[in-house]
Amino acid sequence: MNSKVYLYDTTLRDGTQGEGISLSVEDKIKIALRLDQFGIDFIEGGWPGSNPKDMAFFERIREIPLQHAKVTAFGSTCRPNVAAAADDNLLALIASGAEAAAIFGKAWDLHVTDALKTTLEENVRMVADSVAFLKQNGLTTLFLAEHFFDGYKANPLYALRVLAAAEEAGADWIVLCDTNGGSLPHEVYEIVKAAAGQLRTPLGIHPHNDSGVAVANALAAIQAGAKQVQGTINGIGERCGNVNLISVVPNLQLKLGYECVSSEQLQELTQLSRYVAEIANMTLPNNQPFVGHSAFAHKGGIHVSAVLRDPKTYEHIEPENIGNKRRVLVSELAGQSNLLAKMEELEIDLSLDREKTREIITRIKEREFQGYQYEGAEASLTLMLLEAAGKLKNLFTLDSFKILMEKAAIQSITSEATVKLRVNGESVHTAADGNGPVNALDNAMRKALESYYPCIANMHLADYKVRVLDENGATAAKVRVLIESASNGEKWSTVGVSTNVIEASWEALADSIRYLLWREGCEEAGHLSAAETRVGIVNH
């Protein structure tokens, strides 16, 4: 194992500068606690004095003992021609109660003369005075050399002089920032190596992703001598984002042998990524490296067959090491190995013979030809496998449904659905309103079933997508409806296909309840577990 690499997270400050990202004080507290559990060394909470939200965060976090991380306040050096001891920004950092302070200063002569409108000498004074003042007040002090790489390319002597001023003033860390995100890995390596040769103070790297190589730049900097990486969870941040710690950490630890967190903490990587995404109300790409839903998904039959023999054939690491899992997709490209692997993954023991397996594969391919897609609707696939094995109980069936929509001249449109179901031989007839036909249909179905299967009340629709499969068909085109449902923290997806969007929606809705009822293990209507969550199965 190589030396320790320290992790500095700026999700709560730099990350919130990303477009569409907004975190409440409570959100920031929750994320900070998870970052601390994961083993992050520095958690940057915000810029004290810049806004009430950040001040409230520092007040709250003081009351919460963290196990490992140092809460860090962010700010700038003192202003031109203002002593550090009289600078409101630096005084706010001290007043925040944070253990550490990270202040940025200019390392590019262009910014000093054109942006700050001051002299190169005054800028050096500002850096040295600010760092010394924070150290005198007992804070762990990180100096962030803003635009360092651009500054070094333009005027290496001055850029290094700024770093030397911070070091002489007592900075605990000097962090080299690729603020514009325009540097390439070979440049970062050479420049970090040059800086490391001039300084005794440990170096950090703060790359942005504007050129799409932030992770590579972070790895290059560490290999050149840096000891700290500053980034965000899922790479959120201004413009194209900050470096993604979710990708940096496993690359450093599993590929390059550096120590970032414990192996047990590393296994929480996927959960951390998804937790922050959920709080930030952002959708993670399925193909996000390491933690994406598709990061270890295998679809082609040849791939699956090889992976089942030896996962190293198509996987660069063991997914369990970072808390993800292998998935086998069943589609029109599937072979028998895909289906068997999927049954094992879903923990379904069907004991099907080879002929039966071929029949299922043929059925899947036929249905995908019709427009069904089971890669994103694994709950519907599970039901198909259970049905093929004769292990799916039809605890209620549909007799009919009817939907009424009304639009008055001065009123918004209203929807009402009437559903007739048969449960245990009894006819159940209900009606419900909704803010649309699908919502009304969903409400009516729940109303009919909840008295028999109370746990349906805990289930809700998390997402609803419609895709037109044949654009040439215009309004008569076939559509595919994908529904994501959730209950007690678990999510699952189902699919329906028809030339009628309501019929396709019904099929997906029915499957969503069928899956819940199967998971709950109900044998008959009205049979409840000790937790009163046993439910039944609805037929297609």
Higher pLDDT, 327 or 285: 285
Q: What is the pLDDT of residues 503-528, one digit of tens each?
A: 999 999 999 988 988 888 775 655 44
**What predicted TM-score, i.e. pTM, was given to this entire model?**
0.73
Say yes or no to pLDDT of 536 above 50: no
**Percent of the chain surpassing pLDDT 90:** 58
Which of 347-361, 402-416, 447-461 comes out lowest in average pLDDT?
347-361
| Residues contacting residue 336 through CB under 8 Å, at least 6 positions apart | 301, 354, 357, 358, 361
Which of 127-141, 341-355, 422-436 comes out lowest in average pLDDT?
341-355
Q: What is the pLDDT of residues 183-211, one digit of tens each?
A: 999 999 999 999 999 999 999 999 999 99
Say if CB 71 and CB 57 are below 8 A apart: no
Residue-wise DSSP of 108-143 = SHHIIIIIS-S-HHHHHHHHHHHHHHHHHTT-EEEE
CA distance 489 to 31: 18
Radius of gyration (C-alpha) of the chain in whole angstroms = 29
| Residues contacting residue 125 through CB under 8 Å, at least 6 positions apart | none
CA distance 79 to 517: 64
pLDDT at 219: 98
Distances (CA, A) of 356 to 130, 227, 329, 360, 520: 75, 57, 19, 6, 27
**Residue range 328-336: average pLDDT?**
58
pLDDT at 463: 84
**Residue range 318-333: average pLDDT?**
77
What is the band of 342 on the pLDDT scale with cuts at 50, 70, 90?
low
**Residue range 295-303: average pLDDT?**
74
Say if CB 201 and CB 174 are below 8 A apart: yes
Say if CB 517 and CB 538 are below 8 A apart: yes
pLDDT at 538: 37
Higher pLDDT, 397 or 205: 205
Which of 95-109, 146-160, 170-184, 312-326 comes out lowest in average pLDDT?
312-326
pLDDT at 410: 72
6-9 and 42-46 as β-strands: parallel, antiparallel, unpaired? parallel
**Percent of the chain surpassing pLDDT 70:** 89
Which of 100-114, 171-185, 230-244, 351-365 comes out lowest in average pLDDT?
351-365
Higher pLDDT, 125 or 325: 125
Say yes or no to pLDDT of 176 above 90: yes
pLDDT at 537: 34
Q: Name the residue among 358, 346, 432, 421 with its Cα closest to residue 388.
A: 358
| Residues contacting residue 426 through CB under 8 Å, at least 6 positions apart | none
CA distance 149 to 190: 10
Q: Taking the CB of residue 504, how many other CB atoms lie within 10 A of it? A: 23
Q: What is the pLDDT of residues 52-89, one digit of tens each?
A: 889 999 999 999 999 999 999 999 999 999 999 999 99
Which of 156-165, 445-454, 520-529 comes out lowest in average pLDDT?
520-529
Instruction: Give SS3 for 209.
Output: coil
- As beta bridge partners, residue 144 has 104, 175
Say if domain 6-279 classifies as CATH 3.40.190.150.
no
pLDDT at 539: 35
Say yes or no to pLDDT of 99 above 60: yes
pLDDT at 540: 33
CA distance 497 to 478: 7
Domain limits of the chain? 6-279, 297-370, 396-520
What is the band of 307 on the pLDDT scale with cuts at 50, 70, 90?
confident
Higher pLDDT, 382 or 332: 382
pLDDT at 242: 98
**Residue range 225-248: average pLDDT?**
97
Say yes or no to pLDDT of 390 above 90: no
**Residue range 40-56: average pLDDT?**
92
Superfamily, domain 396-520? Alpha-isopropylmalate synthase LeuA, regulatory domain (3.30.160.270)
Calculate the average pLDDT of the chain.
87
